[in-house]
Amino acid sequence: MNDYCKVAKMLKDSKKTFVLTGAGISTDSGIPDFRSADSGYWTKMDPMEALSVEVLYDRPEQFYKIGYEMLVDMQNKKPNTGHLILAELEDAGLISGVITQNIDNLHTYAGSKNVLEVHGNTRKSFCRKCGRVYDFKYLGDYVERGIIPPICEHCGGVVRPDVVMFGDPMPVEFERALGEVESSDLLIVIGSSLTVSPVNYLPTLSERLVIINMTPTPFDQRADVVLNEGISEALEKIKECLND
């Protein structure tokens, strides 16, 4: 039995499986991994600065010139084969849900229903002062008029993207993710280097572990199966085994 069919068997045998995804699942959709040195997004500014709370709050003009434009560009992307297969696996009852580090909304657009976005998303924005929630386009309306930062129409506070920036605390969604993985008997990590804390704590909680990533991760030795290859290709092969 090859490794793809091993993963397929693990999926069939598992009572509860969750998937954890990182930037690697979205590269086939044209969204580069921000850690890649040749990423087109980051020729002007380091990502850890462009998407930091320091720049967002203290230098908003700089954020809306670079970081915000990257977030807007994500909204023009479409789900790829990897996203679509995960939605199919959820519909088939083979996975219980997806925990994602990504903010690109592509799991939701692909049809996944139980998606825990532990780093937020680019569908919403909110007021720092009163907590009022707006859609993401609310920011664009202000940016187009040259009003930076955007202002809450309710209380006059500053409205920001509903994205976890560098320097932000983790949202309550992460607490739910901890509970879901802890009660699962299989975690499949897809497209994540597992170097970002505290998300890289999740693989320590699952009874069984599968890692699908282009490059090695610090958790490979702990995993039952490791597939170092393209995400879409690997998931297509696993799907073939499930259909046999």
Active site residues: 119
What residues have CB less than 8 Å from 16, skipping those under 6 apart? Answer: 96, 183, 184, 185, 186
Q: In whole angstroms, what is the distance from residue 43 CA to residue 70 CA? A: 12
Closest to 134 measured CA to CA, from 160, 105, 156, 164: 160
Q: In whole angstroms, what is the distance from residue 234 CA to residue 241 CA? A: 11
For the chain, give me the number of helices (H) and strands (E)? Answer: 10, 9
Distances (CA, A) of 135 to 123, 126, 159, 204: 6, 8, 11, 35
What residues have CB less than 8 Å from 218, skipping those under 6 apart? Answer: 194, 195, 200
Closest to 126 measured CA to CA, from 104, 103, 153: 153
Alpha-helical segments (H) within the chain: 3-13, 47-50, 53-58, 60-65, 67-74, 81-91, 106-110, 137-144, 172-182, 231-243
> What is the enclosing helix (H) or strand (E) of 98?
strand 97-100
Give residue 189's identity as a one-letter amino acid code. V
Q: What share of the chain is helix, strand, coil (3-state, %, to 5)?
A: 40, 20, 40
